[in-house]
Amino acid sequence: KLEAVIFDLDGVITDTAEYHYIAWKQLGESIGIPFDRAFNETLKGISRGESLERILRLGGKETEFTPVEKAELARRKNEHYVSLLDGLTPGDTYPGIAGLLEELQAQNIPAVIASASKNAPQILRSLQLDGLFRYVVDPDSVQHGKPAPDLFLRGAAEVGARPEYCVGIEDATAGIQAIKAVGIGEQSALEAAGADVVLRDTQGLSLDFLNRLLVQ
Ligand code: B16
Ligand code: MG
C-alpha cells in the first residue's frame, strides 16, 4: 500500500517552471548568453547556483565572474522570479492536484514536497496548499541535488515512509532520474529519463491511479 506521495513543485503543482525560464532567459540575455527552451529543459530541477553555472558554461563565460559577481547574478534572477510570483493564486494550481491532495489527506497518506526551490514554502502559501502537505524538504538540508535521490529520500524518511512504497511526481528529467516516477509532460524525453509512466498533464492523477501503479 502507498505510504507517501512525493511531489516536485515547479512544473507539477503549478506553472512556475515557466517563470524560472523567463527569469533565467532575461538574466542570460543581460550577460550576452541567449538560450532557447531546449537548453532550459536541462535547468529544470537544478538548483539556482548550478543553473547559473550551466548558463555561464553554455556561453563559455564560467571564468569571467568572481564568486561575489555570481552571487549577485543569482540574486538578480531570484528577485525577478519572485516578482513574477506576485500574482499567484489558488486558481493557478494545476488541474487534479488539489483533488488528489484532499484524497490523500482523507486516507491519511502523507503528501510531501521535494523541490529544489528555496521559494517552495512561499509558493505553497500563495496557492493555499501548505496545509495539505505533511512535509516540505529544505533543499539546503541534503547533500546532493537532483538527479541524486536525496531530496526524495529525505521526504520519505521525514514522514516515516519506505521509499519502495512511495510514488514521486516530476516534470524534469533530472527529477525523474531521482525517483520511481510518474512523469508529467513530454513522453519521449521523460520515458528516456526512466519514468515508469508519463501523463501529458496532471488531470489524470488520482489516488486510485497511483495505487494501481504500485501493484504493477
Ligand atoms: P529557486 P523543482 C526547481 O524546482 C526548478 O525546477 C529549477 O528551475 C530551479 O532553479 C530550482 O528549483 C531552484 O529554485 O531558485 O527558487 O531556489 O522543479 O525542483 O520544484
Ligand atoms: Mg519541476
Does 24 show up as a binding residue in the annotation?
Answer: yes
- Phi and psi at 138, nearest 5°, equal -80, 115
Q: Give residue 148's pLDDT band: very low, low, confident or very high (50, 70, 90).
A: confident
Task: Tell me what pLDDT residue 67 has.
Answer: 96
Q: How many CA atoms lie within 13 A of 16 on its CB side?
A: 31
Whole-prediction pTM value? 0.86
Task: Tell me what pLDDT residue 58 has.
Answer: 98
Residues with a CB atom less than 6 Å from ligand 1: 8-11, 17, 20, 43-48, 51, 78, 115-119, 172
Q: Which residue has the cell 529544505?
A: 138
Q: Give residue 215's pLDDT band: very low, low, confident or very high (50, 70, 90).
A: low
Q: Are 17 and 42 in contact (CB under 8 A)?
A: no
Give the residue among 45, 53, 46 at the shortest CA–CA distance from 71. Answer: 53
pLDDT for residue 216 is more than 60: no
Task: Tell me what pLDDT residue 141 has.
Answer: 95
* Active-site annotation holds for 130: no
Average pLDDT of 64-73?
A: 97
Mean pLDDT score of the chain: 92
**Poorest-pLDDT segment among 29-43, 96-110, 159-173:** 159-173
pLDDT digits (tens, 9 = 90+) for 69-113: 999 999 999 999 999 999 999 999 999 999 999 999 999 999 999
Q: Atom 14, ligand 1: which residue's CA is nearest?
A: 117
pLDDT digits (tens, 9 = 90+) for 172-204: 877 777 776 777 888 888 887 778 888 899 998
Task: Tell me what pLDDT residue 80 has.
Answer: 98
127-161 CB burial, b ≥16 within 10 A, e <16: bebeebbbbbbebeebeebbbebbbbbbbbebbeb
Task: Tell me what pLDDT residue 193 has.
Answer: 74
Does 119 show up as a binding residue in the annotation?
Answer: yes
Residue 9 Cα, ligand 2 centroid: separation in angstroms?
Answer: 6
Cell of residue 8, nine digits: 516536485
* Substitution candidate for ligand 1 out of 16, 20, 85, 138 with most atoms within 8 A of CB: 20
Residue 201 Cα, ligand 2 centroid: separation in angstroms?
Answer: 13
pLDDT for residue 17 is more than 70: yes
Neighbours of ion ligand 2 (CB under 5 A): 8, 10-11, 171-172
ω into residue 147 within 30 of 0, thus cis? yes
Whole-number Å distance between alpha carbons of 84 and 87: 7
* Active-site annotation holds for 208: no
Task: Tell me what pLDDT residue 192 has.
Answer: 76
